[in-house]
């Protein structure tokens, strides 16, 4: 690594770290800034998965019995009496299912007829799982503790595993007492399950509290309790490892007991792996999922064949209001949500979310890639690389969800990487501008503004070695300058040189010339040709004429100041030379090398004060523009053959 790379890398790393920490703290302290967008991105993933036909299925061992609008319409009863539930439940039980979930809240009602019969059917079947709704709260609140012991103790749960406080949501009350704690109802139930659903902040239902803590025990949700009874699974084997993982030890999958690990969302909830209603309908039509009408069962003389299957009987009617908005297909009945959750477990089809450590690791890997990329590329490619990394992550993010059910945070990671990436980009632009400024400051004393613009747009012009070009070279020097330096004060000499060089450089630059170097009192400049023509000789002669005119002005000024008579000689030669950054890579030296340079220097020596002397090659290009005096062949030092020389007389 070069010293410059080291000097840039250190502040970029430090600044990136500060930017990352600041952004991370903002996202951590104010999660609401991005949570809504993260949820909507999750919904988009569900809908895209539908497009790519990667949705899960509903397990064929589950049967849904729905009390829908059609059932209520045909029965001409908006509110079914207990006797109707009893008849439907009896026929369901006669169909020989493994378990029956009753997703109805039988709250206090003036209609008590048929209640005893319904309870008796439940009791005699020995396979019904009934719901209760709970209220969550803080287990450290004294009022909640009182409620906990006076209300929850009325529930006689089967043996359940203990759970450490703070991992699962704590139950403090049961709002609906009849279906929740009525003794005959509890006694008639094979088991009971919580039916709470907790929509996200936008009202959308994406997750379900699969277990809750009741009196220090781990109580299952209705769908999990129903599933456990379907498979004859003992709920005491459940272990809540953390808010991110639940283990069903010795859970029977295809007849073989396994430790089934269920991923949770970090708050003890199971994310529901939804499938669209289109997919549900296709499964129904293919006979892979049975959905039965409660009214048709009621009216049928025969019981449906439910041998070996688990049944969930629930309210699908509009009046039942047992609906929730979901990521796909809008509102769907809650019993269908429970069926999907059961299928997720049976088919081991889960939604996995990454934790904070994993997300930070992803961010770190992306930033390392960008840092390495930025070390070896320019700003343009770094910008493209930054955009490419972000787009690649978005693609991988959606791909992992669609095909593997892995839901990685998108917005937060994009924000973290983008802010650090943009900071690095701004810093690199700043450093480049500083470097360009330093370069421009170094070059502007001898490069024309035109060439400076070309170098800014094409830095490769400064590549080592240069290239061979036809150019015109201009030499000028001050007549009798040595005598002046011997007689004058050094400060005065410096003042004259500064003014002379400044005036002449302005003329050279205005005509597109490049000052190669200052040599004592001499100036070496050269003029390049554009790609579409040969104009260097004309530009050089025009510059020479303007320099001589400026010298006349300076002479008048200096004579008024009682200084020495001021005049210059100028010579122009044209030919081929190597032009470019020639010399060691540590020193930028945009210069020229070739015999044309030496010829110009020798021509300058044979001129008289106020002369402009040119060689034959220059004459060829400008002979029609000026009057010239042929001063014949001249022997120049360092040249074997005499050189034809011309001197300008006056402009036409």
Is residue 649 very low, low, confident or very high in pLDDT (cuts 50, 70, 90)?
confident
Using the structure block, give the residue that is written with the tokens 């809540």.
240
Highest mean pLDDT among 344-358, 363-377, 465-479: 344-358
Give the separation between CA 299 and CA 88, rounded to whole angstroms.
9
Question: What's residue 2's pLDDT?
Answer: 40
Is residue 314 very low, low, confident or very high in pLDDT (cuts 50, 70, 90)?
very high
Question: What's residue 51's pLDDT?
Answer: 93
Using the structure block, give the residue that is written with the tokens 């988009």.
44
Query: What share of the chain in percent tops pLDDT 90?
Result: 61
Question: What's residue 435's pLDDT?
Answer: 55
The answer to whether residues 230 and 193 touch, using CB atoms and an 8 Å cutoff, is no
Nearest to 477 by CA among 598, 596, 604: 604
Is residue 460 very low, low, confident or very high in pLDDT (cuts 50, 70, 90)?
low
**Predicted confidence (pLDDT) per residue in 323-357, tens digit:** 999 999 889 999 999 999 999 999 999 999 999 99
Task: Tell me how far the alpha carbon of residue 64 is from its chain's centroid.
Answer: 43
Instruction: Label residue 526 exposed, middle or buried (CB < 10 Å: 0-12, 13-18, 19+).
Output: buried
- pLDDT higher than 80, residue 457: no
Name which of 16-20, 263-267, 452-456 the model is least confident about.
452-456
Higher pLDDT, 642 or 1: 642
Give the separation between CA 259 and CA 249, rounded to whole angstroms.
4
Question: What's residue 378's pLDDT?
Answer: 80
Length of the chain: 652
**Could you give phi then psi for residue 388, rounded to 5 degrees?**
-65, -40
Give the separation between CA 346 and CA 254, rounded to whole angstroms.
9
- pLDDT higher than 80, residue 109: no
Q: Average pLDDT, stretch 35-42?
A: 94
Q: Average pLDDT, stretch 101-116?
A: 77
Helix (H, G, I), strand (E, B) or coil at 516: strand
Question: What's residue 472's pLDDT?
Answer: 96
Question: What's residue 69's pLDDT?
Answer: 93
Nearest to 101 by CA among 182, 177, 181, 193: 193
Question: What's residue 334's pLDDT?
Answer: 95
Residues 378, 380, 382, 385: what is their CA dihedral angle, to the nearest 10 degrees? Answer: -140
Per-residue burial over 302-332, b if 16 or more Cβ lie within 10 Å, else e, is eebebeebbbbbbbbbeebebbbebbbbeeb
Question: What's residue 376's pLDDT?
Answer: 76
- pLDDT higher than 50, residue 496: yes
Q: Average pLDDT, stretch 166-184?
A: 72
Question: What's residue 247's pLDDT?
Answer: 97
Higher pLDDT, 143 or 581: 581
- pLDDT higher than 50, residue 651: no
Nearest to 426 by CA among 468, 373, 472, 374: 374
Task: Tell me how far the alpha carbon of residue 412 is from its chain's centroid.
Answer: 9
Please, which residues bridge with residue 99 across strands?
310
Question: What's residue 38's pLDDT?
Answer: 94
- pLDDT higher than 90, residue 85: yes
Nearest to 387 by CA among 375, 370, 404, 409: 370
Please, which residues bridge with residue 523 across strands?
476, 518
Question: What's residue 156's pLDDT?
Answer: 53
- pLDDT higher than 50, residue 150: no
Question: What's residue 371's pLDDT?
Answer: 82
Higher pLDDT, 182 or 578: 578
Question: What's residue 5's pLDDT?
Answer: 46
Question: What's residue 588's pLDDT?
Answer: 61
Query: What share of the chain in percent tops pLDDT 70?
Result: 87
Q: What is the pTM of this model?
A: 0.69
Give the separation between CA 5 and CA 28, rounded to whole angstroms.
34
**Predicted confidence (pLDDT) per residue in 540-597, tens digit:** 999 999 999 999 999 999 988 888 889 999 999 999 999 887 766 666 677 889 999 9
Question: What's residue 587's pLDDT?
Answer: 63
Question: What does the DSSP 8-state code read for residue 266?
Answer: S
Q: Average pLDDT, stretch 241-265?
A: 93
Q: Name the CA radius of gyration of the chain, rounded.
A: 45
**Could you give phi then psi for residue 94, rounded to 5 degrees?**
-65, -15
**Predicted confidence (pLDDT) per residue in 414-430, tens digit:** 999 999 999 888 877 77
Is residue 652 very low, low, confident or very high in pLDDT (cuts 50, 70, 90)?
very low
Helix (H, G, I), strand (E, B) or coil at 320: coil
Question: What's residue 149's pLDDT?
Answer: 46
DSSP secondary structure, 110-176, as one string: S--TTHHHHHHHHHHH--EEEEE--EE--TT-HHHHHHHHHHGGG-------B--TTTSPBEEE-S-
When the pLDDT of each residue in the chain is averaged and rounded to a whole number, the result is: 87
Question: What's residue 110's pLDDT?
Answer: 53
Distances (CA, A) of 179 to 103, 198, 310: 11, 20, 22
Is residue 265 very low, low, confident or very high in pLDDT (cuts 50, 70, 90)?
very high
Give the separation between CA 146 and CA 106, rounded to whole angstroms.
25
Distances (CA, A) of 323 to 56, 66, 269, 290, 314: 21, 13, 19, 20, 11
Give the separation between CA 219 and CA 422, rounded to whole angstroms.
49
């Amino acid at each position: 690594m070069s010293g410059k790379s080291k000097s840039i890398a250190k502040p970029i790393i430090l600044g990136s770290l500060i930017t990352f920490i600041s952004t991370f703290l903002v996202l951590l302290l104010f999660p609401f800034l991005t949570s809504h967008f993260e949820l909507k991105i999750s919904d988009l993933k569900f809908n895209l998965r539908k497009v790519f036909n990667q949705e899960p299925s509903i397990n064929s061992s589950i049967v849904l019995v729905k009390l829908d609008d059609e059932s209520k319409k045909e029965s001409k009863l908006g509110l079914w009496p207990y006797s109707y539930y009893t008849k439907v439940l009896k026929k369901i039980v006669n169909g020989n299912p493994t378990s029956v979930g009753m997703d109805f809240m039988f709250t206090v009602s003036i209609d008590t007829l048929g209640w005893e019969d319904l309870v008796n059917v439940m009791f005699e079947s020995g396979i019904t799982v009934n719901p209760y709704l709970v209220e969550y709260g803080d287990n450290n609140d004294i009022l909640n503790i009182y409620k906990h012991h006076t209300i929850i103790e009325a529930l006689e749960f089967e043996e359940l595993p203990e759970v450490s406080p703070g991992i699962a949501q704590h139950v403090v009350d049961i709002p609906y007492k009849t279906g929740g704690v009525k003794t005959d109802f509890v006694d008639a139930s094979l088991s009971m399950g919580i039916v709470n659903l907790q929509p996200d902040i936008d009202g959308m239902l994406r997750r379900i509290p699969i277990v809750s803590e009741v009196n220090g025990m781990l109580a299952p949700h209705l769908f999990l309790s129903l599933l456990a009874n379907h498979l004859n699974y003992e709920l005491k084997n459940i272990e809540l490892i953390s808010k991110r993982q639940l283990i069903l030890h010795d859970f029977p999958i295809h007849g073989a007991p396994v430790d089934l690990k269920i991923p949770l969302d970090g708050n003890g909830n199971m994310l529901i792996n939804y499938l669209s209603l289109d997919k549900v309908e296709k499964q129904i039509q293919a006979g892979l999922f049975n959905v039965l009408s409660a009214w048709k069962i009621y009216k049928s003389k025969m019981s449906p064949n439910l041998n070996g299957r688990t049944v969930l009987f629930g309210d699908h009617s509009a009046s039942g209001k047992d609906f929730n908005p979901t990521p796909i297909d809008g509102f769907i009945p809650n019993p269908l949500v429970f069926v999907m959750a059961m299928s997720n477990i049976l088919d081991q089809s889960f939604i996995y979310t990454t934790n904070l450590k994993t997300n930070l690791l992803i961010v770190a890997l992306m930033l390392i890639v960008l840092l390495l990329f930025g070390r070896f590329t320019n700003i343009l490619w770094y910008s493209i690389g930054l955009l490419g990394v972000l787009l690649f992550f978005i693609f991988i993010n959606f791909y992992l969800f669609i095909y593997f059910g892995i839901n990685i945070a998108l917005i937060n990671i994009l924000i973290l990487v983008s802010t650090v990436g943009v900071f690095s980009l701004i810093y690199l632009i700043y450093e480049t501008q500083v470097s360009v400024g330093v370069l421009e400051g170094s070059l502007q004393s001898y490069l024309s503004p035109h060439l400076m613009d070309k170098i800014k747009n094409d830095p490769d012009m400064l590549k080592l070695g240069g290239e061979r070009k036809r150019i015109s070279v201009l030499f000028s020097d001050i007549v009798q300058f040595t005598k002046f330096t011997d007689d004058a004060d050094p400060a005065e000499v410096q003042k004259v040189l500064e003014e002379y060089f400044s005036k002449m450089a302005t003329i050279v630059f205005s005509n597109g010339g490049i000052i190669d170097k200052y040599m004592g009192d001499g100036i070496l400049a050269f003029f390049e040709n554009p790609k579409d023509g040969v104009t260097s000789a004309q530009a050089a002669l025009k510059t020479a004429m303007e320099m001589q005119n400026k010298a006349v002005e300076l002479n008048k000024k200096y004579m008024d100041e009682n200084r020495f008579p001021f005049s210059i000689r100028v010579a122009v030669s044209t030919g081929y030379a190597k032009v470019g950054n020639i010399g060691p890579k540590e020193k930028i030296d945009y210069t020229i090398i070739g015999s044309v340079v030496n010829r110009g220097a020798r021509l300058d020596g044979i001129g008289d004060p106020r002369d402009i002397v040119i060689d034959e090659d220059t004459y060829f290009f400008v002979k029609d523009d000026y009057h010239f005096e042929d001063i014949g062949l001249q022997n120049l030092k360092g040249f074997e053959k005499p050189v034809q020389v011309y001197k300008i007389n006056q402009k036409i």
